[in-house]
Amino acid sequence: MDPTTKDITTNFVKAKRPCANGFRWFIKHHRDGSNYQDLLDALVQDGRVSDACWLLSQFGPTDAVLVLDSIEADAIVFAGAIEVRGNIEVDSIVRAGRGIRAGGSIRVGESLVAGEDVRAEGGVRSEGTIEVGGDIRVAWGMEAAKDISCGGDIRAAWELLCGGKLSVEGNVFVGLDIVAQGAIRCGKGVNAGGSISAADSIHAANGIVAGETIRCGMHLEAGWGIRAGMSIEADAAIRAGESLSAGHEIRAGEGYGVFAGLNVQVEAWETSARVSASARPQGLMSGWWSDTVEA
């Protein structure tokens, strides 16, 4: 049975093993079955937003598209894509089975969840979490009070501020600063026009580039090179698969080493694992030291 085209029946819901309270609500209000999206809407209107999210997780997305001028609501759970010409202002949860597009800004009180891409011509702000299965593209800045998780790339013209962990499967491109109160983990590369800062570790499978300072509270690690217009600082080890370059100092934590060229043969260090900074880093364990700061 396909819930995107047919009514959801009592037996269909029961087979998914819902909680007792939620199943009683369904029997009371929709004993004879219900259209998928109508059921999601009814749950949200009755204050059962978590049940609506559970239902969407169980039955998956649809190809429906919700097109509106703007959204101002307590919560919204839609199985398809959401397209809004203006702003999205929601007190608690915005969840879409597919993508979300806004011609203005997106602000949510608890969480922003989308199965596919999120795009906003303004800014994106969540007082809780952001969880997106595809890319995130923001014309202004992006901020979450808690964790941010992205299954694709993040592109923001201004700053990216994360009150928890920042996890990105693709690349991160930000015009100004990237700040995370937890760890930063990136499946590809990280590039910021300003500074990159994390209270915990920073790890990128590819390279890390910052126009200003790179700073983290634990290990700093990149599979390719690491470059900062100013300083590179970590409270633990600094490890680069290729080169390390800073306009000012490169400094690891006390008792930790600085490693460059970990993914390069020693014979190629002079060209592919150069270490350049205002002074030779203390604890430099590998790489080709150059006293000429690279542009």
User: What pLDDT is recorded for position 2?
Assistant: 44
pLDDT in tens, 31-43: 444 678 888 998 8
* Contacts with 119 (C-beta within 8 Å, 6 or more apart), sequence order: 99, 100, 101, 102, 135, 136, 137, 138
User: What pLDDT is recorded for position 290?
Assistant: 84
β-strands 7-8, 34-35: how paired? Answer: antiparallel
What tokens appear for 233 in the block?
A: 């600082």
User: What pLDDT is recorded for position 156?
Assistant: 98
Residue that is written with structure tokens 């026009």 in the block: 193
SS3 state at 21: helix
pLDDT in tens, 152-205: 999 999 999 999 999 999 999 999 999 999 999 999 999 999 999 999 999 999
User: What pLDDT is recorded for position 9?
Assistant: 53
Q: Report domain extents, the chain.
A: 1-60, 73-290
Least confident of 49-53, 147-151, 230-234, 274-278: 49-53
Please give the C-alpha separations between residue 50 and each of 55, 92, 154, in angstroms, as whole numbers.
9, 11, 27
User: What pLDDT is recorded for position 35?
Assistant: 77
What mean pLDDT do residues 112-139 have? 98
Pair 200, 220: CB distance under 8 Å: no
Does the pTM surpass 0.75? The reply is yes
Name the nearest CA neighbour of 183 among 157, 202, 207, 162. 202
User: Which residue type does 118 have?
Assistant: V
- Which one has a higher pLDDT value, 46 or 156? 156
pLDDT in tens, 62-110: 999 999 999 999 999 999 999 999 999 999 999 999 999 999 999 999 9
CA distance 79 to 56: 6
pLDDT range class, residue 146, cuts 50, 70, 90: very high
